[in-house]
Amino acid sequence: MTDKIPHLDAERLRNPKRRQLLAATGAVGLTGFLSGATLSGSAQAADVSGAPQNSKLLGFTGIPASTADAMVVAKGYRAEVLISWGEPLVDGAPAFDPEGKNSAADQEKQFGDNNDGMSFFPIDEHRGLLAINNEYVNEQYLFAHGGKKATSLEDVRKSQAAHGVSVVEIARQADNRWQVVRPSRYNRRITANTEMRFSGPAAGDKALQTAADPAGMKVFGTFGNCANGKTPWGTYLTCEENYDTYFGTKQADFKITPQQKRYTLEPNEPERNWSDFDERFDVAKNPNEFNRHGWIVEIDPMDPHSVPVKRTALGRFKHENAAVTVAKSGELVVYMGDDERGEYIYKFVSHGKVDNANPAANKTLLDEGTLYVAEFVGDHSGTPLKGTGRWLPLVHGQQGLTAENGFASQADVLINARAAADRVNATRMDRPEWIAVNPHDGRAYCTLTNNSKRGDEGMPVNAANPRPKNIYGQIIRWDEKGDATAKAFSWDIFALCGNPIAHPEGIYRGTPNITAENTFNSPDGLGFDRDGRLWILTDGKYSNKGDFEGQGNNQMLTGDPQTGEIRRFMVGPKSCELTGIAFTPDYKTLFVNVQHPGEEGDSHFPNNSPRPRSSVIMVTREDGGVIGA
């Protein structure tokens, strides 16, 4: 994923050639700035010596890093498996077969694989639904033959059935633990072959039309579902991310279009070979099918018969999550990241206002609005890690988004949102992942997970992404002064991730709130609780050596936005990512996902499983109290 970066010690900084390179990227000034004790306008309270901190918001003792093949959680808490890949979900589903012999038809009724983002929807005090993304599959565990490629249409169908979304009813027991309800009329699988419809400005556009759907209005399936959002009217937003990896062709003379290339299609080397057995994914035979994915999909979890809707007004790119908030003036605002190196941060502002008294009136709010992309500039006085910015509208006819430049309509702008953002000169970021909004002050936080190509030709460092070969990532935040519809904002870096163990000095050490006790890399998942704690989940290097010495397995940490302090709360099993976060309304249960444990062949999670299985974890306090308090 990333390359090892040399230690930027004082001797290298004295080297004239090295100093010239760093000066060109702005790293010299950043190094000097990071050597200070505090950060002006950013996280200020962390003590780099590792001395005890004084946050009143964080009510638990941080834990050490771990390399164990187990869930490790803060003292006074318990972490237990709620449901794992392959468990029966829909009526008639068979049990999970540990040898991988379940069929595609079985998997359509079982809990999906590699669960990622999720939201909790209460039914009453003791019952609720979890809507959970199933992002992708680990083929070597999914297929009975143990290979990493499909060898038949049955393999492809099984893979497609393990993708998408699982809706799961759960019920609270007397001891505050939750259990899956079976049977339940709510339990549902939405897969790569589930019927959906398009809505919004791009619906019906010629670029979405296929031989199977000449109207460009009906589409089958969702896959690559990364993170999520939740609307005020109780629907679930699932985000299609790495959809390009599912398309390919064996046609030797196929020529990729500029539009397909902009979305990193590699037709001759798809990560998954669905196109070998399912012509829908052959880009030579069905080129427009590629355009029908990369959207945000709205699902009503309370209505198991509802048809999911792909909301095109929110733009097409590699959606990470959808952070939903309601502006003080009533408009719905959705912040979104495009998770790829050098891509952008977006914001959608609805034209209409949220009607809390009549939820049915909100069903078209996500179809009519303005999509913006962010520009970040540095502080006018030259202080690193802070600055100002503005939201640039992606509107046909404005700022060069015209037919002369390849945008014949608003549908073209939305279908090719990346190219539109290029045209208006938005700021290229270090893989924008999850965004979360602080419920107390409205500030939005975004994880920029890493960027090993930052500083290469065509991707210079900039104020908001200040390090070349950024192996650790950062968390940026912006302040719109309480108005989520604002066109301008100020920003700063809440945490420039690093490793004081491997790099005691220099730009890879990180900001002062990164210590030897809490060091981590590649922040990914992100969420706030009602009290304003920031929950940070990681998906990065877990080698625990070299640049990543002392960081252990992927983990969940908790931050205090006011003091900047960060403490490690949980560590996952080997080779996993910790992702997804959802709370019950009383905040006494936290749900988090263990994704792809044992992707390196080194895990038997959970319960000494012969095939490691992605799982939903429920975290509760032993005394029944509020999580994190």
**Per-residue confidence band for 31, with pLDDT thresholds at 50, 70 and 90:** confident
Q: Find, among 394, 443, 439, 448, the residue nearest to 421 by Cα.
A: 394
- Judge whether residue 539 has pLDDT over 70: yes
pLDDT in tens, 255-295: 999 999 999 999 999 999 999 999 999 999 999 999 999 99
Place of tokens 């430049």: 405
DSSP characters for 483-520? Answer: -TT-SEEEEEEEEE---TTT-SSSTTS--TT--TTT--
Place of tokens 């037709």: 267
Strands 488-496 and 474-479, how do they pair?
antiparallel
- Judge whether residue 344 has pLDDT over 70: yes
Q: How far is Cα 359 from Cα 362, in angstroms, rounded to an integer?
A: 5
End-to-end CA distance of the chain, in Å? 36
Percent of the chain residues past pLDDT 70, beyond the cut: 92
Q: What pTM was computed for the model?
A: 0.94
Can you read off the two tokens belonging to residue 397?
């006819």
- State residue 54's pLDDT score: 80
- Judge whether residue 13 has pLDDT over 50: no
Can you read off the two tokens belonging to residue 270?
């798809």
Can you read off the two tokens belonging to residue 357?
């008294």
- State residue 244's pLDDT score: 98
pLDDT in tens, 546-560: 999 999 999 999 999
Q: Is 74 within 8 Å of 577 (Cβ atoms)?
A: no
Can you read off the two tokens belonging to residue 609?
């499983």
Does residue 214 come out as left (phi exceeding 0), alpha (psi in the -120 to 50 range) or beta? alpha
Q: How far is Cα 423 from Cα 142, in angstroms, rounded to an integer?
A: 42
pLDDT in tens, 198-231: 999 999 999 999 999 999 999 999 999 999 999 9
- State residue 412's pLDDT score: 98
Q: What share of the chain is helix, strand, coil (3-state, %, to 5)?
A: 15, 30, 55
**Per-residue confidence band for 2, with pLDDT thresholds at 50, 70 and 90:** very low
Q: Find, among 371, 378, 332, 136, the residue nearest to 242 by Cα.
A: 136
**Per-residue confidence band for 92, with pLDDT thresholds at 50, 70 and 90:** very high
Burial 157-185 (b: 16+ CB within 10 A, else e): bbbbbbbbbbbbbbebeeebebebbeebe
Q: Find, among 493, 472, 480, the residue nearest to 387 by Cα.
A: 493
**Per-residue confidence band for 29, with pLDDT thresholds at 50, 70 and 90:** low
Can you read off the two tokens belonging to residue 533?
């704690």
Instruction: With residue 13 as reference, give the H or E element that holds it.
Output: helix 10-14
pLDDT in tens, 423-474: 999 999 999 999 999 999 999 999 999 999 999 998 999 999 999 999 999 9
Place of tokens 């509208």: 393
Q: How far is Cα 139 from Cα 6, in angstroms, rounded to an integer?
A: 35
**Average pLDDT of the residues in 10-21:** 34
- State residue 4's pLDDT score: 27
As a residue count, the chain comes to: 629
- Judge whether residue 48 has pLDDT over 50: no
- State residue 33's pLDDT score: 72
Give the angle subtended at the CA of 24 by the CAs of 20 and 28, to the nearest 5°.
70
Burial 349-365 (b: 16+ CB within 10 A, else e): bbebebeeeeeeebeeb
**Per-residue confidence band for 34, with pLDDT thresholds at 50, 70 and 90:** confident
- State residue 38's pLDDT score: 41
- CA–chain centroid gap for 259, Å, is 24
- State residue 35's pLDDT score: 61
Instruction: With residue 260 as reference, give the H or E element that holds it.
Output: helix 258-262
Place of tokens 């070969």: 469
Can you read off the two tokens belonging to residue 29?
């000034």
Task: For residue 467, give the 3-state DSSP assignment.
Answer: coil
Q: Find, among 566, 503, 505, 576, the residue nearest to 538 by Cα.
A: 576
Q: Cis omega before residue 183 (within 30°)?
A: yes
Give the HSE-up count for residue 417: Cα atoms under 13 Å, Cβ half-sphere: 32
The CA-atom distances, in angstroms, between 535 and each of 283, 393, 445, 519 are 40, 30, 11, 15
- State residue 27's pLDDT score: 54
Place of tokens 């045209």: 423
Q: Cis omega before residue 606 (within 30°)?
A: yes
- State residue 5's pLDDT score: 26
Give the angle subtended at the CA of 35 by the CAs of 33 and 39, to the nearest 5°.
55
Instruction: With residue 189 as reference, give the H or E element that holds it.
Output: strand 188-190
pLDDT in tens, 120-171: 999 999 999 999 999 999 999 999 999 999 999 999 999 999 999 999 999 9
Phi and psi at 562, nearest 5°, equal: -80, -45
Strands 195-199 and 309-311, how do they pair?
parallel
Can you read off the two tokens belonging to residue 111?
């809990």
Q: How far is Cα 592 from Cα 547, in angstroms, rounded to an integer?
A: 27
Can you read off the two tokens belonging to residue 121?
């929807």
**Average pLDDT of the residues in 23-34:** 59
Q: How far is Cα 137 from Cα 438, in angstroms, rounded to an integer?
A: 33
pLDDT in tens, 570-586: 999 999 999 999 999 99
Give the HSE-up count for residue 7: Cα atoms under 13 Å, Cβ half-sphere: 13
